Amino acid sequence: MERLLCVYVEALAEEAPDGSTLRDYSTLLDALSLLCPFTEPVRLGLYALPVRAPSRFFGGEAAVLDVVAATVREVTGHDPSLGIADGLFCAEIAARERVLVAPGATPSFRRRQPLAALGREDLVTTCRRLGLHTVGAFADVERARVAERFNKNAVVLHQVARGELSELATQRDTKLLGRLGRLHGAELSDVQLGFFGQRGDDDRAHAAAQRVQSRLGAGGVVVASLRGGRVPEDRATLVPWGSPASPARDDAPWPGQLRSPSPATTLRVRQGVELHDGNAEMVRVSSRGLLSARPRTLLSPEGRRDVIWHAGPWPSLEGWWGRSRRRAHLQLLLGGGEAVLLVAEAGRWWLVGLYD
Amino acid sequence: MAPVTGGGYAYEHMFAFPTERPTLPADLVATLRPVALATSRTLPLGEPWSALVPGGGLRRGTTVVVQAPPGSGGLSLALSLVARASVEGHWTGVVGVGDPGVVAIAELGVDLRRVLFVPRPLGAWAESAADLLDGVDLLVVRAPPRCGYGAARRLVDRVRERGTVMIVLVEPNAPWPLPGDLSLTITESRWVTSSRLDARHLTVLVGGRGEAARAVAHVVVVPDRRGRAAR
């Protein structure tokens, strides 16, 4: 069961007649999502955050509580009730009680809750007559006894009591996600129809890219562009998001360009492979740009693959700035139906692209 | 057991439990803003998908699951889905595609100026995807082989809440743990060759929920001789 931090804000639990509650709830959700992207809107007034990753990031659960409490105060002006336990059922109780259930202590915490925590008056009344007052006492009843005495809802509650299910079905507002989505949709269309045209979209994308970069480092987000060149691995430019735009544009026709379709994966670091003919001899490209034999087998670190068809080689000799570079590209169709792009250079074969 | 304190909160001992629980809020939907126009709830699809996908577009807030064996064209197919929307000004995020074939993506018709790549999210693929969801309209995710149910469900919930379209690329031996709203499953992949690789014919099972509940097999060409998706 996952360790959850529940955030309960009483002021956002009751819907105000002017409809502002949902908007405030959404604003706080955005703020909490900056701390932990997996903040879950459970229902109005209640959020749940898986606490393991943030506590590593902020340095302990206490630090997460501090920063969450500060965020809620800053955004809403109200003090939240916070609690941590395993599973949503216990985490919500913990939040209302403002307690941290120590790791591993959730089962005993759950067992000593009064039966009313399961939220069914009828169950509480019947069980009281049977002398069962706590969740733990109810959990100790055999499942078969529960099934014969109560209906199937009670069997589900029994599973929650035993910790086999982490939450009650009534804890989540199933319509809430849809309502938040519509709220966003409404805001989005306002921006698009409004004064600034598409600007809103670009700003949103930039903000998101910045968030990922702060998580993964400057090279975490990259953008791509094309420049002139003969082969796919030369034509692609990938630069970290935010670096100065590359002035080169792919607008001129390039003689001898390898024709489309291009491989959907172009390896950034090309991978050394061996290409053999039927006699397990290495296939070579002659100085006239011809293959020494028909390729039969491709040997790569991933294993040995049969070559069932090939096209090329397409040789190219580039002599820029005095450094000449002789290469030849070869397309292969492998036994499993996959197609790959190889290049021969400096007496070796390299895998440069996958048509995946 | 002595109480352990942290951040001003004491680890629990025994507490009385209040029996009154908050009731769910009364339904006051009428006080909310009107729903946005139907067209803004759908992102456009280009050829050939507009004719093959129920509704002819990608509904915002939904998840598309593209399942394909490795090397059979799943990545090309997933990227072909975003091409039209990208040309019309929508932003796309691509998470977990380590070495994107930029030329191929451009050939598919995607506008590279509005694509953010997160090639190596390392351990934080789900967090990176969640971060990007806020800023893009379409998100292509190559899910790691062991993607847990919890992480998947949280992403799907967030996609629904943000009105993004998420396209998840998975392999048959590590399927997406949730059913997709729309699912595109490559069942057969065949290259047509001449003096070079010409075109790839994919047999795709188009299924999902609602209108797409009955899965139908279609043959599409991804990529064709020009590198585009076609029928």
Give percent of chain A with pLDDT exceeding 90: 28
Domain containing B179: what range?
A: 44-221
Q: Are A297 and A263 in contact (CB under 8 A)?
A: no
In this structure, the number of other CB atoms found within 10 A of the CB of residue B91 comes to 27
Residue B103 in any domain: the answer is yes
Buried b (16+ CB within 10 A) or exposed e, A44-79: bbbbbbbbebbbeebeebbebbbbbbebbeebbeee
Reported as a pLDDT band with limits 50, 70 and 90, residue A326 is confident
Lowest mean pLDDT across A204-208, A248-252, B200-204 = A248-252
Beta strand extents in chain B (DSSP E only): 5-6, 9-10, 42-44, 57-59, 63-67, 92-95, 115-118, 138-142, 165-170, 182-193, 197-208, 216-221
Residue A239's pLDDT band, with cuts at 50, 70 and 90, is: confident
Count CB atoms within 10 A of the CB of residue A259. Answer: 12
**Would you say residue B137 has pLDDT above 60?**
yes
Nearest CB to A309: which of B113, B193, B223?
B193
Query: What pLDDT sits at residue B27?
Result: 44
Question: What average pLDDT does the structure give for chain A?
Answer: 84
- Contact between chains at B11 and A262 (C-beta distance less than 8 A): no
Grade residue B149 by pLDDT with cuts at 50, 70 and 90.
confident
| Residues 6 or more apart in contact with residue A205 via CB below 8 angstroms | B91, B114, B116, B135, B136
Cβ atoms of A68 and A35 within 8 Å: the answer is yes
pLDDT at B35: 37
Question: Cα A344–A346–A349 angle (5° rounding)?
Answer: 30
Cβ–Cβ gap A204/B10 under 8 Å: no
C-beta atoms of B197 and A331 within 8 A: yes
For residues A308-328, average pLDDT: 74
pLDDT value at A288 more than 70? yes
Mapping DSSP to helix (H, G, I), strand (E, B) and coil, where does residue A346 land?
Answer: coil
Cβ within 8 Å of A, B 25-64: 25-26, 28-29, 31-37, 40-41, 60-61
> What pLDDT shows up at residue A285?
86
Domains of chain A: 3-111+164-171 (3.30.70.270), 202-257 (no CATH), 265-354 (no CATH)
pLDDT in tens, A68-101: 999 999 888 899 999 999 999 999 999 999 999 9
Q: Residue A243 and residue B86: Cα distance in Å, rounded?
A: 22
pLDDT of residue A68: 92
- The reply to whether B31 falls in a domain is no
Smallest CA-to-CA distance from A235 within A214, A209, A263, A275 is with A263
| Chain B, nearest residue to A211 by Cα | B131
Which tens digits make up the pLDDT trace of A164-215?
888 888 888 888 887 887 777 655 544 444 444 444 677 788 888 888 888 8
CA–CA distance from B47 to each of A263, B10, B113, B180, B200 (Å)?
20, 60, 21, 22, 16
> pLDDT tier at A33 (50, 70, 90 boundaries)?
confident
More confident call, B141 vs A268:
B141
The CATH number of whichever domain residue B48 belongs to comes to 3.40.50.300
Q: A316 - beta bridge partners?
A: A327
| Domain total in chain B | 1
Q: What is the mean pLDDT of residues B117-142?
A: 90
- B160 Cβ contact partners less than 8 Å away, ≥ 6 residues apart: A177, A178, A181, B61, B62
Is A341:B58 a contact under the CB 8 Å cutoff? no
Q: Identify the pLDDT of residue B25.
A: 45
CA–CA dist B93, B96 (Å, integer): 10
Q: What is the dihedral of CA B161, B167, B169, B172, to 10 degrees?
A: 80
Asked if residue B231 belongs to a domain, the reply is no
- Quick one: closest CA in A to B100, which residue? A265
- CB of B18 less than 8 A from some CB of A: yes
- Residue B14 in any domain: the answer is no
Put simply, the answer to whether A21 touches B25 (Cβ < 8 Å) is: yes
Write out pLDDT tens, residues B65-121: 999 998 899 999 999 999 999 988 889 999 999 899 999 999 999 998 889 999 998
Percent of chain A with pLDDT over 70: 89
* Mean pLDDT on B176-187: 91
- Residue B169 maps to a domain: yes
Residue A263: which of B104, B135, B189 has the nearest Cβ? B104
Q: Is residue B163 part of a domain?
A: yes
Tell whether B63 is covered by a domain.
yes
Q: Which pLDDT does position B10 carry in this prediction?
A: 52
Give the mean pLDDT of B122-133: 88
Instruction: For residue B66, give the 3-state DSSP assignment.
Output: strand
Distance from CA of B43 to the nearest CA of A (A): 13
- Scanning chain A, the segments in alpha helix (DSSP H) are 20-35, 52-58, 61-76, 88-97, 106-111, 121-129, 135-140, 143-149, 152-162, 176-193, 199-216, 232-235
What lies within 8 Å, CB to CB, of A121 at 6+ separation is none
Nearest to A298 by CA among A263, A266, A336, A264: A336
Residues 85-144 (B) with a CB less than 8 A from some CB of A: 89-91, 93, 97-107, 112-122, 124, 126-128, 130-137
Q: Which of A216, A226, A337 sits opposite B103 (nearest CB)?
A: A226
Nearest by CB: A99 against B10, B32, B124: B10
Taking alpha carbons only, the member of B150, B186, B187, B183 closest to residue B167 is B183
Cβ-Cβ contacts under 8 Å for A56 (sequence gap 6 or more): none
Task: Report chain A residues whose CB lies below 8 A from the CB of B193.
Answer: 309, 311, 333
Mean pLDDT throughout B8-21? 47
> pLDDT tens digit string along B34-68?
333 444 688 889 889 988 888 888 998 999 999 99
Is the confidence at residue B226, as pLDDT, over 50?
A: yes
Identify the closest residue of chain B to A237 by CA–CA distance.
Answer: B102
Task: Judge whether B110 lies within some domain.
Answer: yes
Among the partner residues A38, A113, A225, nearest to B112 by beta-carbon distance: A225
**Residue A294 confidence (pLDDT) above 70:** yes
